[in-house]
Structure 1
């Protein structure tokens, strides 16, 4: 994954990932199933990175939890490094279309965009 020299902090693995997989987000209007799959992967990544805390109860409702904060660039970068290391270990190659890995990497790009993680 090549980094864009004009985007994000130097050396951040999110820059190269965004350059490679961010264009896949443009397929969303044409692929509702893709939106749902990426949303599920984004939720899984967010759940892995942002702890849940008890939320205030509302009358008539049971206990619930909500995320403790936003996805942080540093945490997401660490996640990407670990995930891409694993992909290298298994000699993964990007397929035509989508598999688990491309959905996960596309979901990371969605999180990058939604949390504006390359602008800070």
Structure 2
């Protein structure tokens, strides 16, 4: 299973928490913004372009590897890693990256 599919399967269900956890929603939004900056996904449009699926996948794989190396276990609630993984999942869903959308420009 690809890193993006793995993260999406595990953290996509957390989107339901957005309805009743505004602080979590805000934190994930900040992580989405940070990921866009890190992956250099910028644009003048109101709607930023999709991140490159390969770059996001490489980032996700590295992030998951780092979590494994530190022995991280998903906590009850929302820590930095949960927010970052949920943000990755949100980008995947928002831009349909599991179905071949790899475009970074319009």
Q: TM-score range by the shorter chain?
A: 0.7 to 0.9
**Which segments of 5 or more consecutive residues in structure 1 lack a partner in the other structure?**
1-10, 54-63
For 1:52 and 1:27, locate their aligned partners in 2 and report how far apart those are by CA, in whole Å. Answer: 28
Match of 2:8 among 18, 22, 25: 18
Larger RCO (CA within 8 A; separation ≥ 6): 2
Say if 2:97 is the partner of 1:114. no
Matched positions, count: 99
* 5+ residue gaps, structure 2: 101-106
Q: Tell which structure's C-alpha radius of gyration is larger.
A: 1
The structure with more strand, counted as a fraction of residues:
1
Runs of 4+ in 1 over 3 A off after TM superposition: none
CA RMSD of aligned residues (A): 2.1
Work out whether 1:49 is the aligned partner of 2:39: yes
Taking structure 2 as the reference length, what is the TM-score of the superposition? 0.83
Greater fraction of residues in helix: 2
TM-score by length of 1: 0.74
